Amino acid sequence: MPTLHLNDQNLKYTIIMKVDKSSRHSKITGNFAEGLILYWLSKYGFECALVDHVGVDIIARNPATQELMGISVKSRSRSTGKEGQYVHIPNDHFEKIEEACRAFACVPYLAIVVDKGSDIHGFITSMSHFLLLFPRRETAAGWKMNRTWLDHYKNDSEIKYFRFRHETINWWKKM
């Protein structure tokens, strides 16, 4: 049954449907995120390609700086009530990104895509900047997704940030 929520910013009601995700939703989310980042880079003139390599998902040439970027894409699809959870990235993944970037002579970057509520957020930043903000802890580092950090990302020139607002207008009803 749909839940009714009051959106304080717009002072209007929003109906939130309970979503039962498919058994392959994590895999599909990852593929979607890679495609979205690839599309966004291409839209802004980056020569880029999806690669199948441990540690790096996309190789892109920045048209403004000529920097060759090795981008690892991380994605999450958050359920209602879990929208503010951070994106957990295990420490060993950073070594995999560095190793792949050495092999391809590119600069390590992270792209993070999070579907939360009615927004899909996309971020691209260098791995060095990511680790400056969120140093490795005992087992992992984490990209924070609460309101305070979202506001920070908007004003951080080292983080490229885009957001989509989406709405499901009409969908199948459960029997």
> What residue numbers bound the domain in which 111 lies?
24-165
* Residue 50, in any domain of the structure: yes
Local mean pLDDT, 10-residue blocks, the chain (175 residues): 49 52 74 94 98 95 98 79 72 96 97 88 97 96 93 97 91 80
Reduced to 3 states, what is the DSSP secondary structure of residue 171? coil
pLDDT of residue 159: 98
pTM strictly above 0.85 = no
Residue range 94-125, pLDDT digits in tens: 999 999 999 999 999 999 999 887 889 999 99
CATH number, domain at 113? Answer: 3.40.1350.10
* Residue 5, in any domain of the structure: no
Query: Is 39 exposed, middle or buried (CB count within 10 Å of its CB: 0-12, 13-18, 19+)?
Result: exposed
Q: 118, 169 in Cβ contact below 8 A?
A: no
* Residue 87, in any domain of the structure: yes
* Residue 7, in any domain of the structure: no
* Residue 62, in any domain of the structure: yes
pLDDT of residue 1: 41
How big, in percent rounded to 5, are the helix, strand and coil portions of the chain? 30, 40, 35
Q: How many domains does the chain have?
A: 1
* Residue 154, in any domain of the structure: yes
pLDDT of residue 15: 47
* Residue 34, in any domain of the structure: yes
What is the C-alpha to C-alpha distance for residues 34 and 58, in angstroms, rounded to an integer? 8
What is the C-alpha to C-alpha distance for residues 20 and 67, in angstroms, rounded to an integer? 41
* Residue 111, in any domain of the structure: yes
